[in-house]
Chains A and B, each alone.
Chain A
Amino acid sequence: MIAKLKNLDLERMDLDDAVELLTLANSLRITYDAEQVEVPEWLDTSVRELKREIRTRQQDSRERRLKELKARREALATTEEKRSKIDREIEELEKAMQ
């Protein structure tokens, strides 16, 4: 695990792996601090990269979920809702053309 932390291959891991590694990294950091040993640079770098990767993936996941839900909503729209949507678009276009 330490080897994976030192030689981070972010593409190879999934989100769970990244969280697991970050847990290890944080706990290592705590130990270094507690024992008043200088924290190696690679550890700080790994922590930063892992945190950034986890944040990015969470954001990507929200974006994906939002798109999926919007698509599902569109597919489940009733005829009335579809008609209203088309009517609104017609109204906007007519306004823009005036």
Chain B
Amino acid sequence: MISERGLTKNQIIQELTRSPHGKLDEYVPVGQTAQTEEPEFFAHLISWNGIRGQVRDARVALPVIALSCGKTHSEFSENALAHMCTLDPRNFLRSLRFARELKTPEYGKSIRRAVEQYLWARETNYKWWEKAAVQHRSSMKELYALYHVKPAPFANAILFLGTRPKNSVFEAIAELKNMSAIEAAGTILERKIPFLIAIGALGKRARESDLVLALIERMSPTELVTNMKRLEKLGVKSNPALRSALEQSLKKAAKSNENILKTTVAAEAVEDDAIRSKLQGLQEKQMQRAAGIDGNWLVLGDKSGSMQKCIETSRHVAAMLAKMVRGQVHLIFFDIAPRHVDATGKTYEQLLEMTKHVTAGGGTSIGCGLEWALERGIEIDGIAIVSDAAENNLPLFVNVYQFYSRKYDKQVPVYLYRMEPGTRALQDRDLAETMRLAKFDMQEFDLRGGVDYYSMPNIVATMRSNRYSLVDEIMATPLLTLDKVFK
């Protein structure tokens, strides 16, 4: 049940930050609840995710889920269909298969019409159709076949009869393997042949440095990041032209909305320190772009007994916030006493160095961290607590928070990153319970199943200094229509 306190909206948003790695049905339980209980919010969430979302699977799954819960308002169903139609052919096909699996009996005809419009819109704009056919040949074929859409004569010839019109990009791709390296590189650049298609056509020749240069240019930001290990072996560090191509492409990637997760994964995979450094630089820029979180933030990291994982997670949260916020970030480790670190502008590596001697041990007073800020007159706009939420020493967080709120005449948002519980004592009091009893709102991210550092930037990016500002932002995102997609 979605309450008026907005807590479950946050759970829904948090679901989007997870990466189910292709298992679309993991979105179903929360998605169908959201669609049933608050279809308007879910419709805007689909739109918001379409623009700001970091996880491709969510863009595929959510619109389908919106159509799977029976008849809904036509604006919402059109929004869902329209978002499906913004997907590339491969993912559009995925969404259609998912729709068949989930069953959307009220929208069977609408989906079919959307597929027809999807294909015909491309046919009437040859360059658009060509791009889709080059990059997603088999998906395009399947779309025509699965929905019995009659292809235009040229589409039929190219996709189904294997024709390669003279001087077309299809002919050029087939000829790549017969060209000299320089000519093939030039053809890839001139014809804007996608990276994966070019690699497939070139085979082992793709290692030649003239070709590597062209391939780097044609990589999408995600492809660049996920192929970094391969590029490392191909000499991007030592070859000046390749070095420059890599830098150009990283600069483009920094401006894209592509997945920060993949950059994190890639940075861990490469062996070369210089290339890892470049990827970390890219990740910082992506995080800065991903969220402009206002205000000054406090990260309270539990370092009491058996909370070693909290210490590490706190560093990550503080480092990410340091990239994303416009103000200051204060990291305070606590057991029964606070230990402050100014995390403003610091990287994770810097914070690790500064806090390397912080170890877990002692009792738990979450309130002491906030009390430290109170005593120093530090005004903050948001609090992130990384803890198992079990307090057993004074001051309790809720009491200090009450005092803080009165002093500054505002209730700053509080986010709890709930970690795996440590050893419990009888006198332990759960933070969420004490906050609830005091009628203070607190948003919770459940990390008890384990911390996925790769999706952590997505979670951190959803925090706001205004309790409802993310929900407001979502509701303000306009719904999409099929006309807008196909104009």
Give A contacts to B, CB under 8 Å.
Answer: 3, 9, 11-16, 56-57, 59-61, 63-64, 66-68, 70-77
Contact B189 A71 (CB under 8 A): yes
Residues of A within 8 A of B280 (CB): 12
Residues of A within 8 A of B38 (CB): none
Cα–Cα, bound, A6→B210 (Å): 37
Beyond known contacts A11-B277, A12-B280, A71-B214: 4 more, CB 8 A cutoff: A14-B247, A60-B240, A74-B180, A75-B186
Residues of A within 8 A of B275 (CB): 11
Residues of B within 8 A of A73 (CB): 186
Nearest CB to that of A14 among chain B residues? Answer: B251
Residues of B within 8 A of A74 (CB): 180, 182-183, 185-186
Residues of A within 8 A of B102 (CB): none
Cα–Cα, bound, A60→B187 (Å): 22
Residue from A64, A71, A73, A77 whose CB has the most chain B CB atoms within 10 Å: A71
Contact A76 B243 (CB under 8 A): no
Q: Mark B234-248, 1 if CB is under 8 A from A, else 0.
A: 000000111111011
Q: Interface size on B (CB < 8 Å)? A: 32
Contact B190 A75 (CB under 8 A): yes
Residues of A within 8 A of B187 (CB): 75
Nearest CB to that of B209 among chain A residues? Answer: A67
Closest CB pairs A-B (n = 5): A75-B186, A71-B186, A11-B277, A12-B281, A60-B244
Contact B213 A67 (CB under 8 A): yes
Contact B250 A11 (CB under 8 A): no
Residues of A within 8 A of B189 (CB): 68, 71-72, 75
Task: Pick from A11, A67, A72, A77: contact of B278, CB below 8 A.
Answer: A11
Residue from A16, A63, A66, A77 whose CB has the most chain B CB atoms within 10 Å: A63
Give B contacts to A, CB under 8 Å.
Answer: 180, 182-183, 185-187, 189-190, 210, 213-214, 217, 240-245, 247-248, 250-251, 254, 273-275, 277-278, 280-281, 284, 345
Task: Pick from B210, B248, B281, B345: contact of A71, CB below 8 A.
Answer: B210
Contact A63 B240 (CB under 8 A): yes
Residues of B within 8 A of A16 (CB): 251
| B469 CB → nearest A CB, Å | 29
Cα–Cα, bound, A25→B190 (Å): 41
Residues of B within 8 A of A61 (CB): 244, 247-248
Cα–Cα, bound, A29→B190 (Å): 46
| A23 CB → nearest B CB, Å | 18
* 13 residue pairs bridging A and B, Cβ less than 8 Å apart: A11-B273, A11-B274, A11-B281, A12-B284, A16-B251, A56-B240, A60-B247, A61-B248, A63-B241, A67-B213, A71-B182, A74-B185, A76-B186
Cα–Cα, bound, A61→B251 (Å): 13
Contact A60 B241 (CB under 8 A): yes
| A51 CB → nearest B CB, Å | 17
| B233 CB → nearest A CB, Å | 18
Residues of A within 8 A of B273 (CB): 11
Cα–Cα, bound, A82→B245 (Å): 28
Contact B241 A71 (CB under 8 A): no
Residue from B241, B244, B251 whose CB has the most chain A CB atoms within 10 Å: B244
Residues of B within 8 A of A14 (CB): 247, 250-251, 254, 281
Residues of A within 8 A of B240 (CB): 56, 59-60, 63-64
Cα–Cα, bound, A64→B217 (Å): 11
Nearest CB to that of B187 among chain A residues? Answer: A75
Cα–Cα, bound, A77→B242 (Å): 24
| A87 CB → nearest B CB, Å | 16
Residues of B within 8 A of A77 (CB): 183
Residues of A within 8 A of B247 (CB): 14-15, 57, 60-61
Task: Pick from B183, B213, B250: contact of A75, CB below 8 A.
Answer: B183
| B308 CB → nearest A CB, Å | 28
The answer to whether residues A67 and B277 also contact, given A74-B182, A74-B183 and a CB cut-off of 8 A, is no
Residues of B within 8 A of A63 (CB): 240-241, 244
Contact B186 A72 (CB under 8 A): yes
